[in-house]
Amino acid sequence: MKTQLTIALPTGRLGESAIKQLQAIGLANNVSTKTRKLTFIDDSAIQYIMVKPVDVITYVEKGVADMGIIGSDVIMEQQSDVYEVADLGFGQCKFSIAGFDSSLLNQTQDTVLTVATKYPYVTKAYFRKRAQKIDLIKINGSVELAPLLGLSDIIVDIVETGNTLKANGLTIIEDMMEVSAKAIVNRVSYRFNYERIRDITERLNALLEGDFDA
């Protein structure tokens, strides 16, 4: 039986914050994003794996990783069977609809809007609720280019500082929902490693509440 706890961390911006937060509760020493190394073991014998944000959930769902840290945008999009154990208070941003022309959303419901996004599930669900017909175009990055080049009328994307929208002359047409970083756990692993996982989530929560004692 696997006894070493494995935590999947996302590469990129969110990963940097996740490592800082884990280090603040005395874990993840030696873990660095400034190397091509993809696995690390800290002084508590916890293993960390660095994976693309969208893959964090896959590793946790399949039980290869016991825990993971990931944005709720990815959780909402992937609809996976993992257990969410803590809101980590960082990585705050929002899902928004953006484009050039805010009146596009007020047209008759028979108008079919072309929407480009990295988040097809979230996007379809949102417009289904509004009874707005859409033609969805899935793209994998630089979504802001789509309305600029006429690939779509509008986009659905996450907005953090708003700098990317602004730099490309787009504005928010409607905010959809809040997004933030979460700690997730494999359901089976949560039962078998309850004490250890509980201890980590309690320390993370105490840190957020400002009463963590290192």
Residues that bind ligand PRP (CB under 6 A): 141-144, 157-164
Residue 23: in which H helix or E strand, if any?
helix 13-24
Nearest distance in Å: CB 94, ligand PRP: 9
Taking the CB of residue 120, how many other CB atoms lie within 10 A of it?
15
Q: Among 27, 12, 43, which Cα is nearest to 207's?
A: 27
Query: What minimum distance in Å lies between the beta carbon of 30 and ligand PRP?
Result: 26
* DSSP secondary structure of 153-203: SEEEEEESSSHHHHHTT-EEEEEEEEE-EEEEE-HHHHHHTHHHHHHHHHH
Q: What's the closest the beta carbon of residue 93 comes to ligand PRP, in angstroms?
A: 7
Residue number, 106 or 163, with CB nearest to ligand PRP: 163
Report in angstroms how near the CB of residue 53 gets to ligand PRP at its nearest: 8
Q: Which of 109/161 has CB closer to ligand PRP?
A: 161
* CB burial string 180-196: b at 16+ within 10 A, e below: ebbbbbbeebbeebeeb
* Residue of minimal Cβ distance to ligand PRP: 141
Compare residues 103 and 161 and give the one whose CB is closer to ligand PRP. 161
Q: Which is nearer to ligand PRP, 68 or 91 (CB)?
A: 91
**Residue (118 or 203) nearer to ligand PRP, CB:** 118
Nearest approach, Cβ of residue 155 and ligand PRP (Å): 9
Q: Give φ, ψ of 189 to 5 degrees.
A: -60, -35
